[in-house]
Structure formats: C-alpha cells, structure tokens
Amino acid sequence: MKYFTTTSKASNRAADCVFVGVYNRSKLGHGAADIDSASNGAIRDLIKSGDISTELGRCTVLTNVDGVKARRVAVAGLGKPSALDAIGFRKAVGACTKALRDTKTKQILNALTLESVKSCSPYYLARHSVEAISDVLYEFNQMKSGRKKPPMPLSSIGHSVASRGDAAQTDRGAQHGDAIANGVALAKDLGNLPSNVCTPSYLARTAKKLATGNGKLTTQVLNESDMKRLGMGSLLSVTAGATEPAKFIIMKYKNAGSAKPYVLVGKGVTFDTGGISLKPGASMDEMKFDMCGAASVIGTMAALTRMQLPINVTVVVPAVENMPSGTATKPGDIVKSMSGQTIEVLNTDAEGRLILCDALTYSKRFKPEAIIDVATLTGACVIALGHHRCAIYANNDKLQEQLFEAGNSSEDLGWPMPMGDQYAAQLKSNFADMANIGGPGGGSVTAACFLGKFTDGMNWAHLDIAGVAWKSGAQKGATGRPVALLYEYLLSNAGALP
C-alpha cells in the first residue's frame, strides 16, 4: 500500500474517492465545505432533503459531483461537532470504506483527517485511518472453495493535512498504522484458522517464517523432550492427553544493543476442550480462539520488525492442545512447575495458567525490562468487563498505568484491575503449594494472582483478553487485539513516537 499527504482541496484531487464528513445541524466538515462550495451547495441540499445523514456511522456515496475531480465522494455522518473522538473518527472512516467495498476503488483521499478530533494529533489521525480501513477490508476466505470474490483493489491512501508542517507526523502515522494493520491481520488469520490447521506446530512454523531473511529476528522452537528436561511439569500436564505435540516458541528481536528486552508471553492453546473437565458442547468450536494471546504477540512481533523499532523484544509462546484421553491430567492431580512449586489441578479447564506459569519462569532468564503475558484466560473477565476492554493486572503501578495509557492512545482499550493477598488466599490447597483455581468469586483476579506467584523479582503485567480476542455471532472471528495496545507500549518505550 502506498501512502501520501496533501494540502490540496478535497475538490481538486483526482482520486477514485474522497472521504468528507458532516455534523449535526448541517455543520460541514472542512472537506465537505470545500466540496459543497465547488458543487454550488450540493452537500447542503442533500442534507436538507434527507439524502445525506449526519448520524455518526452513516455514509452516503455520491458520484460525478459537479466541480469535483474525484469520481466518488463518501460523505460520513460525524454526529455532534464537540463530541468527535478517536472511536467516532474510526467509525466514520470505517463506514466510508464499507460503503466502497464492492467498488473498484484504487485510490482514496481521506479528508476526514482535517477534522478536530479529541486528543488526536495528525499522527494518530493517519494511524487510526489506516487501521480502520484495513479492518473493514480484512477478509478470511482461505478455507472456502470455489472462486473467491476479489476485494476492493485499493493501492493508495492519501491524508489531507492543513499545512505542510503536519505532513511528517501524518506520514509517520500512516506507516505505523500499516505495520499495526499487518500485525493485526496476521493475528486474525492465526485465530480464524481451524485447529486442525493451526496446531502448535503451525504456530512454530509461522514464527520461523517471520524470522526468515530478517537479521534482527531469530526463532527457536523447543519440543516436549526439551520441556521435560527443563522441568516444565505444569505445561506438560496440559498436553498430556493430546496426540498433537506441544511446542515452546522463542522469538528474539534485537535492535537496541545490550539493552534489556521487553518480553511478551502469549497463551497458545490451539484448541481447548477443557480436558477431563470437559466444556459444554455449545460454542465449543470457538475454543480454536484460545490461542489468540499467542497470535497477538506474534502479530506484534511482525509489526515491530516491519518498522525496525529500536528496541529489544522477546516473544515466548507455549503452544499446546488441551484434550481428554486416557493419559490426560485428572482433577486432583498434583504437578510440579518449572519453578519448583507444586500445583493441585482442581479443574483441567483452568489450563492457560498452567502453561503460562512455566513460560514466565523460563522468561526470567532474559532478565527483562518488563514482562507482559497475554491470554484468553477467564470467562470471569468477560463478566467483569464485557467485550470492550481487556483486563490489566500488574505487580507494578507504573507498568499498569503505561499499559492503560497505551490502550487509550491506540483505542485498543484496557482497564486496571486489582490484585492482593486476600484474593491469592483463595488459591490455598491442602495438598500442594497452591490450587489452579480459587473458587467462583473473582475468577479473573485469582487467575492473575496465580500467575503472580511465578513473577518474583520481575516487572510483570498480565492482560486477560478473553472478552476482546474474538467476536461471536454473525461477525464471528478473531479481532487481532491487543496488537495495537502492545505496539503502542513498545513504541513509547522505544522512544519512537513523534
């Protein structure tokens, strides 16, 4: 995809389509005002007649507008002028793109970037624009037979700027948006693939492929015998009932000399039946999404290597299947983790924490600046926060705040959650050092407290993404979250924000 910036008036650019916006009470956005002037009031007339809606999220596509060089004008409703924020901006850009999906549009000029959007610099407007367009145009049809309908052949996206002084920021925003969009698309693809294709071995091959030809990125894959030798008894207890072999993936990106790395750990349960604690049959197909934590950290690695950020990052992915069989771990079994701590497995469906705890212990060897694990860990998180925000836990207030702010800036939202001894006490076991569940109350919190027992001496955070990693229903599919949040966090710590 090619990106450009321009100070040209919206009416003067010979693009396939130009995006402009209109507000309530017939207030015209900057691009719409220019189009209206060039066309002798066409926009205002269509608003008055009801043919153009000013409601946020609505879009009307006009063709062959007098006085306008673009073939099409996509007019987005922007709602109240004083209320337009980044979410609304992305919604408007997405509505314009959706309205063009079935056209042969190759070049877009987005004049919505001229609007005043709360807390958004030209950098973020361009970045949000590229991400929103890419999200709408994403398709997953790899598994469908027959002739596939070709997508809109978009090849370039332009962003209008008020002055040339905004061009550098805007260009940078578009480039970062492109990197994030590519990382999100990879994470979506991995999540959407069925579990008979996207196995632990498939994740390992994907990670190795990313490192091919990239001198700053290396990938290492450990097998089950390596894990046994390392003492990863907790992780291996999850894969005990599966015939598909587990993989332990380590990706190292070095582009900041001897600086301490930031470590991202992603839960990679490529299918979760619940094991002996079998899940209900309804919607069990969605348990192919239980590796979306792994998908998101691999997608983040793809994004940061694309931009060659000046930072050291290590990605760790414990990848397994959780299956019931005669060799599967049973409720009441006690396993020994790599840390030496013993765990009473009261519920084999609380398996994510069992693989993550060994991954966290392994990651200590990297002496990380910070370590962040990402996991579709608990249904309790969905009850607490719904499908809008991921949960942010941390043993360090500053790290928790940094991740919260990264979510706000990237519009990949999270919410700080509590931890504490009173919650950790729910994990007491009569027979082992701890149990793997803490009862029905505060399930997301006690899961985080469990992981916290393996992070002594580390600057650690845990993102529970169970509510945001995929959508159900008619729009079923992986979301690619929280790639944007993680990228924003790394971008800030790399000193690469404009």
d(CA 200, CA 195): 9
**What pLDDT score does 498 carry?**
86
Q: 460 and 360 in contact (C-beta within 8 Å)? A: yes
Q: Is residue 145 one of the residues assigned to a domain?
A: yes
**Same-domain status, 321 and 442:** yes
**pLDDT band at residue 180 under the 50/70/90 scheme:** very high
Q: Which 3-state string (H, E, C) describes 101-113? A: CCCCCCEEEEHHH
Q: Is residue 175 one of the residues assigned to a domain?
A: no
Q: Is residue 168 one of the residues assigned to a domain?
A: no
**Same-domain status, 398 and 456:** yes
**What pLDDT score does 312 carry?**
98
**What pLDDT score does 54 carry?**
97
- Which tokens in the block code for residue 320? 């397994």
Q: Is residue 172 one of the residues assigned to a domain?
A: no
**Same-domain status, 153 and 192:** no
Q: Indicate which residue of 44, 279, 336, 471 is catalytic.
A: 279
Is 279 annotated in the active site?
A: yes
**Same-domain status, 205 and 111:** no
Average pLDDT, the chain: 97
**What pLDDT score does 155 carry?**
96
**Percentage above 70 pLDDT, the chain:** 100
Asked which of 110, 131, 161 is the last residue of a domain, the reply is 161
Contacts for 371 with CB less than 8 Å, ≥ 6 apart = 262, 263, 264, 265, 360, 363, 455, 458, 459, 460, 461
Asked which of 128, 161, 194 is the last residue of a domain, the reply is 161
Structural domain of 144: 2-161
DSSP-derived pairing of the beta strands 390-394 and 460-464: antiparallel
Q: Is residue 398 one of the residues assigned to a domain?
A: yes
**Residue from 446, 282, 428, 297 nearest 372 by CA:** 297
Q: Is residue 176 one of the residues assigned to a domain?
A: no
**Same-domain status, 117 and 251:** no
> What CATH number is attached to the domain comprising 79?
3.40.220.10
**Same-domain status, 228 and 146:** no
Mean pLDDT, residues 19-38 taken together: 97
Residue 150 has pLDDT above 80, yes or no: no
d(CA 252, CA 437): 32
**Same-domain status, 75 and 141:** yes
**What pLDDT score does 151 carry?**
78
**Same-domain status, 56 and 96:** yes
**Same-domain status, 59 and 202:** no
d(CA 308, CA 310): 6
Q: Indicate which residue of 58, 71, 188, 353 is catalytic.
A: 353
Q: What is the DSSP letter of 404?
A: H
**Same-domain status, 197 and 85:** no
Q: 193 and 36 in contact (C-beta within 8 Å)? A: no
The amino acid present at 201, given as its one-letter code, is S
Q: Is residue 166 one of the residues assigned to a domain?
A: no
Contacts for 248 with CB less than 8 Å, ≥ 6 apart = 221, 222, 223, 226, 227, 232, 235, 316, 317, 318, 319, 359, 362
Number of independent structural domains in the chain: 2
**What pLDDT score does 269 carry?**
98
**pLDDT band at residue 149 under the 50/70/90 scheme:** confident
Q: Is residue 354 one of the residues assigned to a domain?
A: yes
**Same-domain status, 370 and 247:** yes
Phi, psi of 248, rounded to the nearest 5 degrees:
-120, 110
d(CA 251, CA 313): 8
**Same-domain status, 197 and 150:** no
Asked which of 161, 194, 215 is the last residue of a domain, the reply is 161
> What CATH number is attached to the domain comprising 486?
3.40.630.10
Mean pLDDT, residues 161-165 taken together: 96
